[in-house]
Amino acid sequence: MSQVDIFSKHAAGSKGTERAPMPTQPPEERVKNFREVSLGYSPETARREASRCLQCRHRPCTKGCPVGIDIPGFVRLVAEGDFAGAAAVIRQDNTLPAVCGRVCPQEVQCESLCVLGRKGQPVAIGNLERFAADWERENREDAASKPVSVNGKKKGKVAVVGSGPAGLTAAAELNRLGYGVTIFEALHTPGGVLAYGIPEFRLPKDILAHEFKELERQGVELRTNVLIGSTLTVDDLFAQGFQAVFLGTGAGLPNLLGIPGEDLNGVYTANEFLTRVNLMKAYLYPQVDTPLYLGKRVVVIGGGNTAMDAARTAVRLGSEVMVVYRRSRENLPARREEVLHAEEEGVEFRFLASPIAIRGDEQGWVEAIQCVNMELGEPTENGRQGVKPIAGSEHWLPADSVIVAIGQGPNPIISRTTPGLETGLHGVLKVAPETFMTTREGVFAAGDIITGGATVIKAMGGGKKAAQAIDRYLRHKNSRLIGQSIGEV
């Protein structure tokens, strides 16, 4: 079959064919292990799925991609069997395709705009992105790496604070632009939420380790165990010769419910729970030293990805899990796939209910959680549906552990210790819209630290744009400096 055949509207292999489902571990099996749930397409399935793409001339899907990947371009190459080529196309705009293919909310981004989705099912763009990235990693170890410009003198030194998607992307971009880059990370393992928050069964940590190895191979220096604002301040970084500082410190500070009983034993923030399991590998206790005590009946509060991750992790640790969410199913902010997977794995959902108190036994351990039913009201100014409690509907649910997954805010350490950094609503750093520069000259920021908790791809998009803004800033500054010194002569 020639290419033309594949992509002519008639052949639009498309019409009749169904979207290829992502093969997964069966639910009854996967709840007993931490291995990845989704198994990935085979090359044949990937080609078949890719050939459903209509190659629309107006490319609607690309408008849904926060980093503007040439989606029809890479999908076409997958269909043709040029997987390396497909991966290269993606890499032009996305440094972490293996991650994004797994964790992006495609159903509200690219796939929501796919023409096929109007009548049937959209092309599985995320699955194909994942396929191309995995194929590249498994088959062409060095594909992603460009030769390191050893002879090329570095344009200058930039410090990147935080190794989450924002920092990682900024570092890769700055390195590509010819700067010497050092990443400073507070934790002992890099990756931000990708390392400590998103579980192994959704994002294998090998993939992350591979990305960091690759980055280091390209010359980026990575320093873990450094808390900027404490071990070194932003001023210290400038004093050490960094000409610009990028802050990608995320929104890691967990919100609490503020209800009675939240300090009882057995009440965790999702961050603590997930950190113990993902970063510290508490599920392997006692082979590892970090313990985790989780009761038989676990109630998770919240409806986002964090809540789904906590619920599904608790299932794997052997608990019966109920997710309590104050809005309705349609309002769940989590990725659709995570909700489906959670349901398949036996997680129970209780919608339109909100916790108001937690009760403990004599020893101070959680025993039950009190909720009140909610009803949907008028949409609020941010477009989400408002909710209000229904008087008299208070009721107790038995619970041995409660996991609070109601969002995170920015960590205050850097803003507390850096003179001149202004923060806005909820403590996010203020930046200028085009330049990503904070209120402190030479200090830039992107990712969750400027938006509040958002998505991996948005953090990456921000990190990349900020890196380009840093390049503009430094080129301008350096040319001014050169100008000045010439003037002085």
Partner 1 sequence: MFKILEKEAVAHNVWKYVIAASDVAKKAQPGQFVVLRLHEQGERIPISISDWDRDAGTITLIVQAVGHTTQQLAEMNAGDHILDLLGPLGKPAVIEQVGTVACIAGGVGTAIIYPEARRHQEVGNRVLTLIGARSRDHLFYQEELAAISERVLVATDDGSYGYKGFVTDLLRQLIDDGIHLDQVIAVGPIPMMQAVAELTKRHDIKTIVSLNPIMVDGTGMCGACRVRVGDEVKFCCIDGPEFDAHQVDFSSLLRRSQLYERSGTSCNSTENMGEGCDGQCHK
Count of residues in contact with partner 1, rule CB under 8 A: 43
Least distance to partner 1, CB of residue 265, Å? 5
3-state secondary structure of 361: coil
Count of residues in contact with ligand FAD, rule CB under 6 A: 41
Q: What is the DSSP letter of 96?
A: -
- The reply to whether 235 sits near partner 1 by the rule CB under 8 A is no
Residues 6+ apart with CB under 8 A from 199: 34, 274, 277, 278, 309, 312, 313
Residues 6+ apart with CB under 8 A from 55: 7, 72, 75, 76
Helix 83-91 × helix 125-139 angle, to 10°: 110
In Å, what is the CA distance from 5 to each residue of 1, 12, 125?
6, 9, 21
Of 16-45, binders to ligand FAD (CB under 6 A) are: none
Binding ligand FAD (rule: CB under 6 A), the pick from 22, 61, 99, 198 is: 198
Helix 205-217 × helix 165-176 angle, to 10°: 30
Distance CA 135, CA 7 (A): 23
Binding ligand FAD (rule: CB under 6 A), the pick from 228, 264, 467, 474 is: 228
Rg for the chain, CA atoms, rounded: 24
- The reply to whether 166 sits near ligand FAD by the rule CB under 6 A is yes
- The reply to whether 444 sits near partner 1 by the rule CB under 8 A is no
- The reply to whether 54 sits near partner 1 by the rule CB under 8 A is no
SS3 annotation, 323-353: EECCCCHHHCCCCHHHHHHHHHCCCEEECCE
| Measured distance between the N- and C-terminal CA atoms of the chain, rounded to whole angstroms | 69
Of 401-440, binders to partner 1 (CB under 8 A) are: 411-413
Least distance to ligand FAD, CB of residue 291, Å? 7
Helix 71-80 × helix 125-139 angle, to 10°: 60
Least distance to ligand FAD, CB of residue 47, Å? 27
- The reply to whether 109 sits near ligand FAD by the rule CB under 6 A is no
CB nearer to ligand FAD: give 232 or 357: 232
Q: Residue 341 carries which side chain, given as an amino acid letter?
A: H
Q: Residue 358 carries which side chain, given as an amino acid letter?
A: I
**Which option in ligand FAD, partner 1, none does residue 292 bind, with CB closer than 5 to 8 A by kind?**
partner 1
Strands 221-223 and 267-269: unpaired
Q: How many helices (H) and strands (E) does the chain have?
A: 19, 16
CB nearer to partner 1: give 87 or 399: 399
- Joined together, the tokens standing for residue 105 give 């909310």
- The reply to whether 224 sits near partner 1 by the rule CB under 8 A is yes
The alpha carbon torsion through 250, 253, 257, 261 (nearest 10 deg) reads 150
- The reply to whether 455 sits near ligand FAD by the rule CB under 6 A is yes
In Å, what is the CA distance from 147 to each residue of 83, 143, 215, 219?
21, 10, 12, 10
Stretch that binds ligand FAD, among 129-137, 174-182, 322-330, 443-451 (CB under 6 A): 443-451
Of 285-304, binders to partner 1 (CB under 8 A) are: 285-293
Of 317-356, binders to ligand FAD (CB under 6 A) are: 335
Of 168-197, binders to ligand FAD (CB under 6 A) are: 184-187, 192-193, 197
**Which option in partner 1, ligand FAD, none does residue 124 bind, with CB closer than 5 to 8 A by kind?**
none
Of 185-214, binders to partner 1 (CB under 8 A) are: 186-188, 196
Stretch that binds partner 1, among 148-156, 212-220, 228-236, 478-486 (CB under 8 A): 228-236
**Which option in partner 1, ligand FAD, none does residue 406 bind, with CB closer than 5 to 8 A by kind?**
none
Least distance to partner 1, CB of residue 228, Å? 10
**Which option in ligand FAD, partner 1, none does residue 143 bind, with CB closer than 5 to 8 A by kind?**
none
Interaction site with partner 1 (CB under 8 A): 186-188, 196, 224-227, 230-232, 252-254, 256, 258, 262-265, 268-269, 271-272, 275-276, 280-281, 285-293, 363-365, 411-413
Interaction site with ligand FAD (CB under 6 A): 103-104, 161-167, 184-187, 192-193, 197-198, 227-229, 248-250, 252, 274, 305-306, 309, 335, 411, 413-414, 447-449, 453-457, 459
